């Protein structure tokens, strides 16, 4: 296998190629071509074609690696079903493969944003083995911002090293909250979370692209990001980018996100324990 830095460089080029395809398709995109995967959960031919492009490129970069992809291009449809049980852990999904290396791909994270011509939306690609994430690359298409890192290295955005923000209290934090499609399960908790944080933080936002939001915590635009019912392709690339920028990524109890996969608490690290205390009280 190539050195991780060389793999990362190849993936960066591939992510930008995929982003260029998405950008070109957006110019003539037709809303009638959108399909519903679930309640308010959409997919388009752009997601599918972009994934095919990415998978083809990744097979050339590390031919021996397996795949976890959102749209099932690499014949992992059992992992890409949006209505699959949320209790399925990240590790149980990844252990489906015999390969010790696995690509985790979201070809278009933020499809609802894309179909409505609103930023952000991104390409997210990660490489991991059975124990850890090795490479993470996220390309936010509208802003032309490429976030990337690999094991043991800092995180970067367009060639400049990035670091998390310095807020030390939740009261001084700019926070992003994601809203999963599982409304019946999540809505009461979301309302409780808003009631807790609204007026007790600088402000609250929702951008609609999990991988982008993780990168925005990594570069200090947000101090925290909270969401539930996520899948590996939603958080793997952005997760390592945030960690290598000095942040922290866990579940709501402070446990290993990659073991549970159900909940995401991502912060600059400084406010992590205080935020977890608040989450424990309301979720």
CATH of domain 170-282: 3.40.190.80
Return the CATH fold of 4-161: Fructose-1,6-Bisphosphatase; Chain A, domain 1 (3.30.540)
* pLDDT tops 90 at residue 57: yes
**pLDDT value of residue 267:** 98
Instruction: Report residue 183's pLDDT band, with 50, 70 and 90 as the boundaries.
Output: confident
Domain boundaries in the chain?
Answer: 4-161, 170-282
For 132, half-sphere exposure in the C-beta direction (CA atoms, 13 angstrom radius) is 9
**pLDDT value of residue 36:** 56
Give helix 210-218 / helix 232-244 axis angle, nearest 10°. 10
> pLDDT per residue over 130-167, tens digit each?
889 999 999 999 999 999 999 999 999 999 999 999 99
Lowest mean pLDDT among 37-41, 107-111, 161-165, 277-281: 37-41
Instruction: Report residue 74's pLDDT band, with 50, 70 and 90 as the boundaries.
Output: low
Picking from 251, 198, 250, 216, the residue whose alpha carbon sits closest to that of residue 109 is 216
Q: pTM (2 decimals)?
A: 0.90
What is the secondary structure of 162-220 as a DSSP string?
Answer: -------SGGG-EEEE---S-HHHHHHHHHHHHHHHTTSSSEEE--S-HHHHHHHHHTT
What average pLDDT score do residues 48-74 get? 91
Instruction: Report residue 257's pLDDT band, with 50, 70 and 90 as the boundaries.
Output: confident
What is the secondary structure of the chain as a DSSP string?
Answer: ---HHHHHHHHHHHHHHHHHHHHHHHTT--GGG-EEEETTEEE-HHHHHHHHHHHHHHHHHSTT-EEEETT-TTS-GGGS-TTS-TT--HHHHHTT-S-S-EEEEEEEETHHHHHTT-S--EEEEEEE-SS-EEEEEEEETTTTEEEEEETTS--EETTEE-------SGGG-EEEE---S-HHHHHHHHHHHHHHHTTSSSEEE--S-HHHHHHHHHTTS-SEEEEES--HHHHHHHHHHHHHTT-EEE-TTS--HHHH-SEEEEE-STTHHHHHHHHHHH-
Query: Per the structure block, which two tokens stand in for 154?
Result: 């800092």
What average pLDDT score do residues 173-177 get? 97
* pLDDT tops 60 at residue 40: no
> pLDDT per residue over 223-251, tens digit each?
999 998 889 999 999 999 999 999 999 99
């Amino acid at each position: 296998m190539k050195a991780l830095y060389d793999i990362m460089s190849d993936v960066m080029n591939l992510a930008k190629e995929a982003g260029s395809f998405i950008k070109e398709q957006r110019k003539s995109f037709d809303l009638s071509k959108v399909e519903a995967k679930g309640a308010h959960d959409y997919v388009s031919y752009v997601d599918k074609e972009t994934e095919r492009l990415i998978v083809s490129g990744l097979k050339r970069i590390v031919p021996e690696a397996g795949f976890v992809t959102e749209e099932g291009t690499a014949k992992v449809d059992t992992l890409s079903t949006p209505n699959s049980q949320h209790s399925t852990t990240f590790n149980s999904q990844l252990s489906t493969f015999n390969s010790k290396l696995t690509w985790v791909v979201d070809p278009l994270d933020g499809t609802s944003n894309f179909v409505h011509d609103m930023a952000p939306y991104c390409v997210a690609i990660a490489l991991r083995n059975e124990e850890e994430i090795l490479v993470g690359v996220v390309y936010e298409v509208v802003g032309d911002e490429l976030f990337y890192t690999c094991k043991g290295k800092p995180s970067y955005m367009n060639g400049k090293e990035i670091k998390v923000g310095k807020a030390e209290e939740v009261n001084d934090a700019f926070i992003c909250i994601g809203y999963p499609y599982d409304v019946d399960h999540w809505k009461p908790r979301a309302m409780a979370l808003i009631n807790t944080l609204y007026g007790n933080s600088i402000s609250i936002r929702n951008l609609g692209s999990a991988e982008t939001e993780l990168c925005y915590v990594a570069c200090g635009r947000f101090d925290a990001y909270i969401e539930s019912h996520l899948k590996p392709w939603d958080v793997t690339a952005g997760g390592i980018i945030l960690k290598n920028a000095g942040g922290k990524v866990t579940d709501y109890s402070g446990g290993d996100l990659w073991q549970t996969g159900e909940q995401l608490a991502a912060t600059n690290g400084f406010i992590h324990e205080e935020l977890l205390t608040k989450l424990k009280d309301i979720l």
